[in-house]
């Protein structure tokens, strides 16, 4: 048993045999599990491993994905705005904080809104839309001037590469993400 840690440094003998085995099991499990979870490998064994460790990873917070700007970077400038129609028929537009319109300091504090607005239009996140509409309704209502409907709209402008590397902004397009009829209890 030359390989045990207690023999590596004769002065210290802190690890018991059981502790040594437990730590090794912990290390081997986590190295294999995190590798399977993170690396984009198409293999039934990796898929099976991911499925087996999923409950533990989701519970413990070890879930992770490392695909920043990949495999294909976002090819459009986008933002999300809301059109709010009030009970009296008037309307207003509210926009999620747009980083390019904020000061350097504000961008530090408001960057989470950029990420949220990026996630909001994704198909798999449809369930986020009613909450977002309710929040915007509360944000833009007063007891005397309550919102009646909220319409979430995504705007986009494609980034088209040009041979000389220059950039000319494309016209903005838009797409209605969601319409919500505000209920009185939403504003409480």
C-alpha separations of 87 from 90, 92, 166 in Å:
7, 12, 47
Whose Cβ is closer to another protein: residue 88's or residue 131's?
131
Note whether 155 binds another protein by CB under 8 A.
Answer: no
Note whether 38 binds another protein by CB under 8 A.
Answer: yes
Contact 33, 57 (CB under 8 A): yes
Q: Closest by alpha carbon to 137, among 127, 126, 151, 118?
A: 151
Map the footprint of another protein across residues 114-133, applying CB under 8 A: 114-116, 119-120, 125, 127-128, 130-132
Note whether 4 binds another protein by CB under 8 A.
Answer: yes
Q: How far apart are alpha carbons 163 and 169 in whole angstroms?
A: 15
Minimum CB separation of residue 89 from another protein in Å reads 27
Interface residue with another protein among 74, 87, 91, 175 (CB under 8 A) is 74
151, β-bridge pairs: 83, 179
Note whether 64 binds another protein by CB under 8 A.
Answer: yes
């Amino acid at each position: 048993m030359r390989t045990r840690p207690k023999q590596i440094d004769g002065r210290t003998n802190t690890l018991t045999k059981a502790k040594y085995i437990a730590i090794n099991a912990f290390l081997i499990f986590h190295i294999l599990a995190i590798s399977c979870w993170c690396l984009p490998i198409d293999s039934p064994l990796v898929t099976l491993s991911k499925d087996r460790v999923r409950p533990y990873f989701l519970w413990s917070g070890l879930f992770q994905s490392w695909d920043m700007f990949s495999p294909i970077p976002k090819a459009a400038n986008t933002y999300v705005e809301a059109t709010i129609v009030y009970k009296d028929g008037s309307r207003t537009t509210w926009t999620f904080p747009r980083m390019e319109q904020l000061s350097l300091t504000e961008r530090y504090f408001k960057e989470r809104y950029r990420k949220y607005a990026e996630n909001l239009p994704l198909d798999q996140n449809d369930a986020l839309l009613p909450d977002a509409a309710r929040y915007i309704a509360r944000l833009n209502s007063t007891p005397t001037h309550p919102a009646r409907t909220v319409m979430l709209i995504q705007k986009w402008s494609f980034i088209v590469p040009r041979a000389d590397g220059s950039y000319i902004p494309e016209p903005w397009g838009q797409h209605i993400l969601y319409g919500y009829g505000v209920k009185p209890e939403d504003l409480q």
